[in-house]
Structure 1
Amino acid sequence: MAEFGSQERSSFIASDRVEGTAVYNPAGERLGSISRLMIGKQNGQVECAVLSFGGFLGIGNDHYPLPWRMLNYAVDKGGYVVDLDKEKLHGAPRYDLGREPEFDEAYTRALYTYYGVNPLF
């Protein structure tokens, strides 16, 4: 019997195991790590993964919400791969910790538009 939550054997993963997971671009460069997930209150679906990027030892990090559908889990890397280069990331919507945007429909729609992803609502 497979252990519940096993990344290799299950299509499910606990949210606390996603937080801190590395995010890479297709070239294998580490872009940062996931600091939190944003879940839709009405539909219960993960809408965004917030990528923590920059800074030093967690100080001065910027937080970049990424549409969840952009991330693909790569077992060989033990992390997520997103088709995104650092230049696109530098111009992306971001925020400082403690100054989170209002994740309303307008913000989410603008975020998805920036990345060229169709929102599901």
Structure 2
Amino acid sequence: MSDSITTHQTETHDLIASDKVEGTAVYSRDGERLGTVKHFMVDKLTGHVTYAVMSFGGFLGIGNSYHPLPWNTLSYDPAQGGYVVNLTREQLQSAPVYTEDTMPNWSDDMYSRGIDDYYRRPLDM
């Protein structure tokens, strides 16, 4: 693969290459920048993106926490050039989280269920 790949080869109206999603900003509905997409988790059997893992906080990659967000909680906003979630910073601070030192066991169904349950319930603040 050449280093001179053009945009039309990595992005269409409906599709985007994974490396272009990583690092994309995530905003609250109010326009506050909450973090960036670190990576995402793809279901091996269906090929669907299940979670976007958002990097939150820290400075220059130090002290970051990682918040797995169900993919369907994000919507792309071309005007902002990033993803928007219907969450506040405070709601994210209470959400399931991990750090480099506390990596989750993604094969534990209870872990995934905890994420899904958090984002399914009304997030009253």
Q: TM-score, normalised by structure 1?
A: 0.87
Match of 1:71 in 2: 74
Q: Distance in 1 between matches of 2:71 and 2:90?
A: 20
Q: Distance in 2 between matches of 1:35 and 1:97?
A: 12
Match of 1:54 in 2: 57
- Structure 1 residue 106, shift from structure 2 partner: 2.5
Paired residue for 1:115, among 102, 111, 119? Answer: 119
Q: Is 1:3 the equivalent of 2:8?
A: yes
Q: Return 5+ residue gaps in structure 2 as ranges.
A: 1-6
* Residue aligned with 1:95, SS: coil
Q: Deviations over 1:38-85 (max 9, x none)?
A: 111222110000010111111000000000000000000000000000
Q: Is 1:15 the equivalent of 2:23?
A: no
* Residue aligned with 1:110, SS: helix
Number of residue equivalences: 114
Identity across the alignment (%): 47
Q: Distance in 2 between matches of 1:14 and 1:99?
A: 28
What letter corresponds to residue 97 of structure 2 in structure 1? R
Q: Does the 8 Å CA contact 1:4/1:10 hold for their aligned counterparts?
A: no
Higher helix share: 2
Q: Distance in 2 between matches of 1:70 and 1:13?
A: 18
Alignment of 1:20-99 (within 5 A): 20-99=23-102
Q: Which has the larger radius of gyration?
A: 2
Q: TM-score, normalised by structure 2?
A: 0.84
Match of 2:104 in 1: 101
Q: Does the 8 Å CA contact 1:5/1:13 hold for their aligned counterparts?
A: yes
